[in-house]
Amino acid sequence: MTDMVEESPLHRLERLLLEDKSDELVAFIEGLNSHEVVHLMSHLKRDEQTELLIRLTPENAASLMEELPEQQAAEIVEDMEAADAAAILNEMPSDEQTDILWELESDEAEAILSFMDPEEAADVRRLIDFDPDTAGGLMITEYLSFPVNMKVGQVIDELRRRKEEYAKLHIKYLYINKLDGTFSGVLQIQDLLMSDYGTPISEIIIPDVITVPMDYQLDLLIDFFHTHDFYGVPVVDAHHKMHGVVLRKDVLEALADQASYEHLESQGIVGGEELRTMPLLQRAKNRLSWLSINILLNLIAASVIAFHQDTLSSVIALAVFLPIISDMSGCSGNQAVAVSMRELSIGAVKSGEALRVWMQEIGVGLINGLTLGLLIGLAAFVWKGSLMLGLVVGGALAINTIVAVSLGGTVPLLLKHRGIDPALASGPILTTVTDMAGFFLALTFASIAISHLSGL
Amino acid sequence: MTDMVEESPLHRLERLLLEDKSDELVAFIEGLNSHEVVHLMSHLKRDEQTELLIRLTPENAASLMEELPEQQAAEIVEDMEAADAAAILNEMPSDEQTDILWELESDEAEAILSFMDPEEAADVRRLIDFDPDTAGGLMITEYLSFPVNMKVGQVIDELRRRKEEYAKLHIKYLYINKLDGTFSGVLQIQDLLMSDYGTPISEIIIPDVITVPMDYQLDLLIDFFHTHDFYGVPVVDAHHKMHGVVLRKDVLEALADQASYEHLESQGIVGGEELRTMPLLQRAKNRLSWLSINILLNLIAASVIAFHQDTLSSVIALAVFLPIISDMSGCSGNQAVAVSMRELSIGAVKSGEALRVWMQEIGVGLINGLTLGLLIGLAAFVWKGSLMLGLVVGGALAINTIVAVSLGGTVPLLLKHRGIDPALASGPILTTVTDMAGFFLALTFASIAISHLSGL
């Protein structure tokens, strides 16, 4: 019996990297789930990451890389020798290859491509021109196709003969081409099983299969798979020649990423995700680019207060309530933004229906504005014993809540209608306008009632 | 040629509902994609929604209901006659049935179940006890299983004989049981095709298939499908008896929903999603429940200002900067929250690693704090010509930015570590603490330098 304490996965990995036991290293990596892989890779230094990937077989390294966020995978690839990177990329499906190379500078990508298997490289070169959020960028090119003039027995014989070679492919759906090379239809593997050897496959294929063009957008693909319970959809060019399959699972993964990126964007993490393994200066700079616009907007909003300094200096108690009005209006408005973003994404509302949404928000604004106004007015009254102060701050918050939910509900639709990303721009626009309106309302009301408020 | 203007889909639907042309109605609904369905249903009144569903065939109504968000589908079902609702639910897969009935009061669900097909109802009764975010709640029970002692030819004959009946099932994977009823393995349909009729299926099944228990959590399932490129995973009970299959696509859909709900929660839409078709009072109340906690937290934060009224009344210019400090610190902190939430969800960081994250944030805080402090300090100096005012507000924002990113980065981890939902609680905690700290810093610095600031 040894009295060793249990070794953490990270220490174990670092030890295995130092020792010369590649078998044990491979076994260790294969035993990890995807969260554990991401976690360990996020804790290794760059040179340790590279070292690890080189020590694994290219197949193992590829399946490890597939677990990582694309940006992180791309950064690691960037730091590797092109030949090593190419060996790993060779083992990935075409959509993952393209996603990673897409993140690199074109000369780096070219260097890696020159070391890759020529067939794989040719595929990638063709795919990399497509936007990753289109059918051309999302499709895989690993699928099986047969000409339509074959018989069931011939297809089965061919499948049996090339069993090894096809083992990695998903052969539950076979794609059938006409003799001129254009796409004809889909053959489900169970229909081979249910038919006699002599049956022409033309009799059992599903002929009128929906296809999508290469530039079909992710949004439309999400919608497509929501409507159709298909495993994948064939992608065809303008001549109806098939080039790949977009799989439902890849679209659903892209959907989850999209929801997650939208959240990041709305909180000011702009231009892709930030991982804390990225260089400090890059992280700080990315965040600052958004913050510096915000501070400018904040200064503009605060200028409303600057114009009312006289009122404020006679009613200093107001200074306590201005940040509250600003923050609470922001909260109410952001709730409405979030509901609009959700309704836009599921299709419950279209970007042209701002008026309809406004009608639906105004009621909420009225109820919540009155309630919040009452609460803060009461707090002001209890604190200073001035009914007028309560009326001023309560009234300002009540009206500004209506302004905030009206804007919050409609701004995402209006932005989307104009082709501006609502996840990114709604928040800053909303808070600037509601801050200005809130400060203006509170200070104007106070200046009107100044005779009842002076000295508070 | 007629000179009719084009009819909008909504008007067309309303007209078809009024006229007695069910065929045309069915054809119209079948031609819509899922976004169009959601959009139209969100624009109909409740009685029109019910009318539409009754006029369609149960199959059509079921596939329409499957496009809608669960809460909306449940609300519509709630308002229907139990017998009509049961007819529609009969046509849905077991996971969708359960999801909808789960949203209803138990007596309403029971009434509908009593009208349903007894077999379907028995399935649902068994499933409805499972949390929808576990394998038991996510699995479908529509799958094919065979005993392990069959031969390839027998399975193929059976499949051919019951072709019609199995047409709706996904038969690309067959699930094989031992003779005692426990789960044995998976048979891929292509392996039937590749084998001779006399081969015992025990020789060609994949025997050591990973299974998950009924209470396996969604998070673990997401991780599972990220690691394993499987179509689905069998769900077994404590006796290793199989009860259903969790499909990859259902887990990915749940993942996208989760990302979207987390976003809603972080913006103060709590307890499931809000759709604007919900009753006004319910919407207002749900939003208020979160806002009223926030206004309380805001009052607490603002009390810091109240305690420094004297300082503020001698340096009224400060009142302009307090809302800016509050808002900008909130922005910086929320960026760090968003990165932490993302890193938690992909596994790059674990909830126990707050110290590590803090070390990674402090650098960003320093750089961004200094930059933002400089900017706002400069603005203050330019406006009032007072270097000291610039130092006070710039210094306060610089230090408070460091506080904000430190908290923003670590609070989600600390909350998760304690089992509290970080999407919900991080924001309010962050803004309250950073507001207090920001106000305190600015007002304390000002009171120290009061002799240089008075009258500004």
Rounded to two decimals, the ipTM of the complex is: 0.85
pLDDT attached to residue B435: 93
Partner-chain contact A268 B334, CB within 8 Å: yes
Partner-chain contact B326 A323, CB within 8 Å: yes
Give start-end residues of each CATH 1.10.357.20 domain in chain A: 280-453
CA distance B250 to A456: 60
- How far CA B266 is from CA of A259, A270, B423, B427, B429, in Å, comes to 13, 18, 5, 7, 12
* Residues of chain B contacting A64 with CB distance shorter than 8 Å: none
- Over its C-alpha atoms, chain A yields an Rg (Å, rounded) of 30
CA distance B433 to B443: 15
pLDDT tens-place string over residues B46-81: 888 888 888 888 888 998 888 888 888 888 898 889
Partner-chain contact A312 B309, CB within 8 Å: no
Nearest by CB to A298, which of B288, B327, B367? Answer: B327
Task: Give me A57's structure tokens.
Answer: 């077989």
pLDDT tens-place string over residues A43-80: 888 888 888 888 888 888 998 888 888 888 888 898 88
Nearest by CB to B280, which of A36, A291, A363? Answer: A363
Estimate to the nearest angstrom the gap between the alpha carbon of B84 and the chain centroid. 29
* Residues of chain A contacting B435 with CB distance shorter than 8 Å: 323, 327
| Whether pLDDT at A161 is above 70 | yes
| Whether pLDDT at A191 is above 80 | yes
**A268 with A251: CB under 8 angstroms?**
no
Size of interface A-B (CB pairs under 8 A): 334
Mapping DSSP to helix (H, G, I), strand (E, B) and coil, where does residue B376 land? helix
| Whether pLDDT at A3 is above 60 | no
Among A16-20, A186-190, B131-135, the range scoring the smallest mean pLDDT is A16-20
Residues in chain B predicted with pLDDT less than 50, given as ranges, are 1-3
Among A174-178, A258-262, B397-401, the range scoring the smallest mean pLDDT is A258-262
CA distance A44 to B186: 38
Q: How far is B30 from chain A (nearest CA, A)?
A: 10
| Whether pLDDT at A20 is above 80 | no
**Pairing label, strands A183-188, A173-177:** antiparallel
CA distance B115 to B93: 17
pLDDT attached to residue B1: 43
pLDDT attached to residue B346: 83
Q: Chain-wide mean pLDDT for chain A?
A: 89
**B204 with B187: CB under 8 angstroms?**
yes
Partner-chain contact A321 B302, CB within 8 Å: yes
Partner-chain contact A35 B223, CB within 8 Å: yes
Nearest by CB to A267, which of B284, B337, B345? Answer: B337
Nearest by CB to B35, which of A156, A347, A383? Answer: A347
Give start-end residues of each CATH 3.10.580.10 domain in chain A: 145-266
pLDDT attached to residue B14: 85
Q: How far is B307 from chain A (nearest CA, A)?
A: 10
pLDDT attached to residue B2: 47
Strands (E), B93-241: 145-147, 173-177, 183-188, 212-213, 232-236
Give start-end residues of each CATH 1.25.60.10 domain in chain A: 9-129
CA distance B295 to B317: 25
Question: Chain A residue closest to B380 (CA)?
Answer: A299
Q: How far is B249 from chain A (nearest CA, A)?
A: 6
Output the pTM of the full model. Answer: 0.85
Name the phi and psi angles at A319, rounded to 5. Answer: -60, -25
Q: Please report which confidence band the pLDDT of residue A168 belongs to, taking 50, 70 and 90 as the band edges.
A: confident
pLDDT attached to residue B217: 92
* Residues of chain B contacting A454 with CB distance shorter than 8 Å: none
* Residues of chain B contacting A335 with CB distance shorter than 8 Å: 267-269, 287, 290-291
Q: What fold characterizes domain B145-266?
A: CBS-domain (3.10.580)
pLDDT attached to residue B383: 92
pLDDT tens-place string over residues A111-159: 999 999 998 888 888 888 888 889 998 998 889 999 999 999 999 999 9
pLDDT tens-place string over residues A312-331: 988 889 999 999 999 999 99
Nearest by CB to A194, which of B160, B337, B346? Answer: B160
Nearest by CB to A323, which of B264, B292, B302? Answer: B302
Q: Which amino acid is at A240?
A: H
- Which strand ranges, in their side-by-side order, compose the sheet holding B173-177? B145-147, B173-177, B183-188
pLDDT attached to residue A5: 60
**A257 with B294: CB under 8 angstroms?**
no
Task: Give me A447's structure tokens.
Answer: 């200046």
Strands (E), A178-295: 183-188, 212-213, 232-236, 242-247
pLDDT tens-place string over residues A406-450: 999 999 999 999 988 898 889 899 999 999 999 999 999 999 988
CATH 1.10.357.20 fits B280-453, yes or no: yes
CATH 1.25.60.10 fits B9-129, yes or no: yes
Q: How far is B70 from chain A (nearest CA, A)?
A: 12
pLDDT attached to residue A24: 85
* Residues of chain A contacting B321 with CB distance shorter than 8 Å: 302
